[in-house]
Amino acid sequence: MSAATMTAPRLKAAADEGRIGVRANLRHIGALVRRNALQIRQDPESMFDAVLMPIIFILLFTYVFGGAIAGKGHQQDYVQHLVPGMMAMMGMNIAMAVGTGVNEDFRKGVMDRFRTMPIARSSVLIAKIVVEIGRMLVATAILLGMGFLLGLEIKGGMPAFLASIVLSTVFGAALMWIFILLGLAMKTPQAVQGVAMLVLMPLQFGSSIFTPTTKMPGWLKGFTEVNPLSNLADAARALINGQGAVAHPTLVTLGWAVAITAVTMPLAVAKFRKKT
């Protein structure tokens, strides 16, 4: 088979992509979302991280660190601090799975089918984002359910509570573009996970998610102040507890989300088009 024959379907797909309208693009995204959802249905084990991770983490941190940080018998006070912070953590951990999923799809040859289909390349990635947002909401719901069982109280009112969920979801969706780009750049899923953990660990533990920053050394406290996870955790905490500054950490979190999406989304789509 000649090189011209092999590249003909790819050139045709690229030409067709330029003629795809908004309605057709949305239809393609919907079809791909259904395809990804069916994959989860056929492989329910892929939901284990979204279902079990929030349960394990909240029990672990509440009963291992809660007494030491809030004092023995004051674990409920720690729950009020921990759960809003873990909403930020859930988004980042679920976002990591997008990168490994994209990488595995290339390794399994799934993307070979998309190369010859007259669909917008961005629709494949956006469908991934939509499904992972659904997984993120499942993880957040389980986290909050466990929080209520451990004594979490919504002191800021229902609108503020819902706003904290929306804010966490928006930021988590922005992070997914980073991990999609990472998944497209790395050769194996293991490499994606390894690099992701190098990013995740400092951001998660060098933040206000698990403990107040007042007793941290100056250099670490300075890092937490610019850490986007700290701002998200502080904003969600203020919204749920009904106290503390809300506007500043919320605006900083939204600013990070917009900046991350504006930079990494075009890069991820361009990288995806180049690989397909």
Tens digits of residue pLDDT in 158-205: 999 999 999 999 999 999 999 999 988 888 888 888 888 888 888 888
pLDDT digits (tens, 9 = 90+) for 6-43: 444 444 444 444 556 677 777 878 888 888 788 778 77
Per-residue pLDDT tens digits for 121-163: 778 888 889 988 999 999 999 999 999 999 899 998 999 999 9
Spatial contact of 244 and 250, defined as CB atoms under 8 Å apart: no
Compute the distance between CA of residue 190 and CA of residue 213 in angstroms, rounded to an integer.
Answer: 33
Dist. CA 274–CA 212, nearest whole Å: 45
Measure the CA–CA gap between 227 and 215, rounded to whole angstroms.
17
pLDDT band with cut points at 50, 70 and 90 for residue 1: very low
What is d(CA 269, CA 121) in angstroms, rounded to the nearest whole number? Answer: 7
pLDDT at 11: 43
Spatial distance between the Cα atoms of 30 and 23, rounded to a whole number of angstroms? 11
0.95 cut: is pTM over it?
no
pLDDT of 186 = 86
